[in-house]
């Protein structure tokens, strides 16, 4: 499988090892992207301010108060952040969807594992301070923890499922190494033979 399949495509399955390796690759790429964005920010504004990239930034689309900058003054920076956020979101979803496929779950589970907790986190500070909000906070925490455990630590379905072959089974050798049979390496020599009789180890031919 090519790295473009790992990072950009939504078909097939990846196991736990492939999932964590993909996330490490994304983390390295994210650090590099942040340096590039910081350089461009300095070129546009003459200073380097706080600049974050997070997959959860997608939920700011439904929250008009999230961006308090003047659109005309910071248009190049906003466009840069938009492009970088969309790229990061695409890669993140591609990795998680293939891991869900390995668990024999469809991409619709992203609604429970990603969309609902993300929306709650975006509007958390503006929710009323009331007891009825506690179930929402608890549900968001449980869903986030469940997503972390399932995608990062639980083994996928053994054997092929509706999304493809078992990625972990492909790494298992189909021809186990032959065990050394000691009895085949011994031979009995008659007493009247030379060297003296008894058990001897066979000499290689």
> b/e per residue, 17-28, with b = 16+ CB within 10 A?
ebbbebbeebee
Q: How many domains is the chain built from?
A: 1
**Joined tokens for residue 37:** 């964005």
In a domain, 195, yes or no: no
In a domain, 25, yes or no: yes
Domain that holds residue 7: 3-162
- Report the alpha-carbon distance of residue 139 to residue 137 in Å, rounded: 6
CB 142 within 8 A of CB 169: no
In a domain, 56, yes or no: yes
What tens-digit pLDDT sequence spans the chain (205 residues)?
688 898 899 999 999 999 999 889 888 888 887 787 777 777 766 766 666 666 666 677 667 666 555 555 566 677 777 788 788 889 989 999 999 999 999 999 999 999 999 888 888 888 888 888 899 999 999 999 999 999 999 999 999 999 999 998 866 544 444 445 555 555 555 555 555 555 555 555 4
Specify the pLDDT at position 51.
60
In a domain, 78, yes or no: yes
Specify the pLDDT at position 170.
65
In a domain, 202, yes or no: no
In a domain, 200, yes or no: no
């Amino acid at each position: 499988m090519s790295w473009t399949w790992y990072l950009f495509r939504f078909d097939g399955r990846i196991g736990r090892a492939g999932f964590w390796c993909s996330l490490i690759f994304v983390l390295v790429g994210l650090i590099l992207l942040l340096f590039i964005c910081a350089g461009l920010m300095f070129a546009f504004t003459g200073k380097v301010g706080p600049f974050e990239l997070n997959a959860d930034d997608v939920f700011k689309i439904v929250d008009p108060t999230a961006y308090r900058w003047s659109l005309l003054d910071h248009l190049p920076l906003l466009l840069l952040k938009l492009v970088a956020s969309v790229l990061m979101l695409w890669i993140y979803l591609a990795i998680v969807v293939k891991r869900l496929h390995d668990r024999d779950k469809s991409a619709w589970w992203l609604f429970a594992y990603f969309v609902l907790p993300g929306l709650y986190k975006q509007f958390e500070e503006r929710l009323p301070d009331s007891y009825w909000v506690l179930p929402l906070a608890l549900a968001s925490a449980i869903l986030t923890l469940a997503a972390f455990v399932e995608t990062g630590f639980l083994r996928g379905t053994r054997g092929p499922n509706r999304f493809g072959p078992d990625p972990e089974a492909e790494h298992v050798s189909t021809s186990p190494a032959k065990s050394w049979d000691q009895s085949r390496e011994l031979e009995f020599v008659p007493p009247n033979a030379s060297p003296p009789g008894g058990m001897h180890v066979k000499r290689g031919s």
